[in-house]
Amino acid sequence: MAATKTLVTKTIDLGDVELSCTVHGDGPLVLCAHGFPDDARSFRAQIDPLIARGFRVACPTMRGYAPSGIPKSRRYDAEALGRDLCALADRLSPGSPVRLVGHDWGAVAAYAATALAPARFSHLVTIAVPHLRATLPRLAQPAQLRRSWYIAYFQLRGVAERGLAKNDFALIDRLWRDWSPGYTASREDLDLIKAGIAPRVSEVIGYYRAFFSSRVLLGEARRLLFTKTTVPAIHIHGEDDGCIGVELARGMEERHFLAGIRVHTVPRAGHFVHLERPEVVNPILLDFLGAP
Q: State pLDDT tens for residues 187-232.
A: 999 999 999 999 999 999 999 999 888 777 778 888 898 899 999 9
Report yes or no on 187 lying in a domain. Answer: yes
We report the CATH number of the domain holding residue 249 as: 3.40.50.1820
Report yes or no on 49 lying in a domain. Answer: yes
- Whether 38 and 97 have beta carbons less than 8 Å apart is answered as no
Residue 224's domain comprises 7-289
Distance CA 188, CA 170 (A): 14
Report yes or no on 61 lying in a domain. Answer: yes
Number of domains in the chain: 1
- Whether 154 and 172 have beta carbons less than 8 Å apart is answered as no
Mean pLDDT of 10-36: 97
Report yes or no on 1 lying in a domain. Answer: no
Q: What tens digit of pLDDT does each residue of 134-162 get?
A: 888 788 899 999 999 999 999 999 999 99
Report yes or no on 196 lying in a domain. Answer: yes
- What pLDDT is attached to residue 8? 86
Q: What tens digit of pLDDT does each residue of 52-70 get?
A: 999 999 999 999 999 999 9
Instruction: Look over the chain and give the mean of its residue pLDDT values, rounded to a whole number.
Output: 94
Hey, CA dihedral for 70, 72, 73, 79, is it positive or negative? negative
**Residue 103 dihedral angles phi and psi, to the nearest 5°:** -115, 135
Report yes or no on 98 lying in a domain. Answer: yes
| The overall pTM is greater than 0.75 | yes
Report yes or no on 2 lying in a domain. Answer: no
